[in-house]
Chains A and B, each alone.
Chain A
Amino acid sequence: AQSVTQLGSHVSVSEGALVLLRCNYSSSVPPYLFWYVQYPNQGLQLLLKYTSAATLVKGINGFEAEFKKSETSFHLTKPSAHMSDAAEYFCAVSDLEGGKLIFGQGTELSVKP
């Protein structure tokens, strides 16, 4: 069975600092991996996805993630945090047979001025 673990339910960074949100996955087949963002009172929005092409994936708003098979990780990074990045971030793995996503627990990102 596939699963995703996000380390840290809450991460706080200063504006301009590096953002690192951790995600580890478990999958018996080559995974499709996703990061979604949820702003307050909004739905889930796709940030980026990995579908077995380039291991470094660039997404919207300056975020990127690197797929590391040896570490079973798909960590999300952004070089310089902005106040508008404050949100909940979810890592997910796709069940390619049925198309459903299996989500991690989520990481709430706070950005301090």
Chain B
Amino acid sequence: EPEVTQTPSHQVTQMGQEVILRCVPISNHLYFYWYRQILGQKVEFLVSFYNNEISEKSEIFDDQFSVERPDGSNFTLKIRSTKLEDSAMYFCASSNRVDGELFFGEGSRLTVL
């Protein structure tokens, strides 16, 4: 069964460092998303991406964040200069239509020290 894969599963970084989280969405999907879940809190929307551009972003997704689909298969989330409060589980999701049935990866846990 096709699945969304994410790497790394866990990354520890120092505050101020750049981090790139990678995702391989399901191959025929067109809509891509990043969510995050801070420990003990709800799953929060970060950004959606369609047709090679951001279609929507939340207030969390500030200038420190960027997304890219560099090669037609990977979908990356970059945090330019990490802060302690960026520590969270980051989930990538993809969908082949806009009715909201999203398929999620297993997440990348980011720990900022």
Contact = CB atoms under 8 A, between A and B. Distances in A.
A43 B42 contact: no
A77 interface: no
Contacts of A30: none
Given A41-B106, A43-B91, A44-B104, A99 B99 contact: yes
A70 interface: no
Nearest to A33: B100
Given A42-B106, A43-B105, A44-B91, A101 B100 contact: yes
Contacts of B4: 43
10 contacts: A34-B100, A42-B106, A43-B91, A43-B105, A44-B43, A45-B104, A46-B102, A98-B98, A101-B45, A106-B42
Contact of B100 (A42, A43, A90, A99): A99
Given A32-B99, A96-B99, A102 B106 contact: no
Contacts of B98: 96-99
A98 B91 contact: no
A44 B106 CA distance: 7
B95 interface: yes
A76 to B, nearest CB: 16
Contact of B48 (A41, A51, A100): A100
A102 B45 contact: yes
Interface residues of A, number: 26
Contacts of A51: 99
B75 interface: no
Contacts of B101: 34, 46, 49
Contacts of B91: 43-44
Interface in B91-111: 91, 93, 95, 97-107
A43 B99 contact: no
Given A41-B106, A102-B45, A106-B43, 14 more contacts: A32-B99, A32-B100, A46-B103, A51-B99, A90-B42, A94-B99, A95-B100, A97-B98, A99-B98, A100-B33, A100-B56, A103-B35, A103-B43, A106-B42
Interface in B29-61: 31, 33, 35, 41-45, 48, 50, 55-56
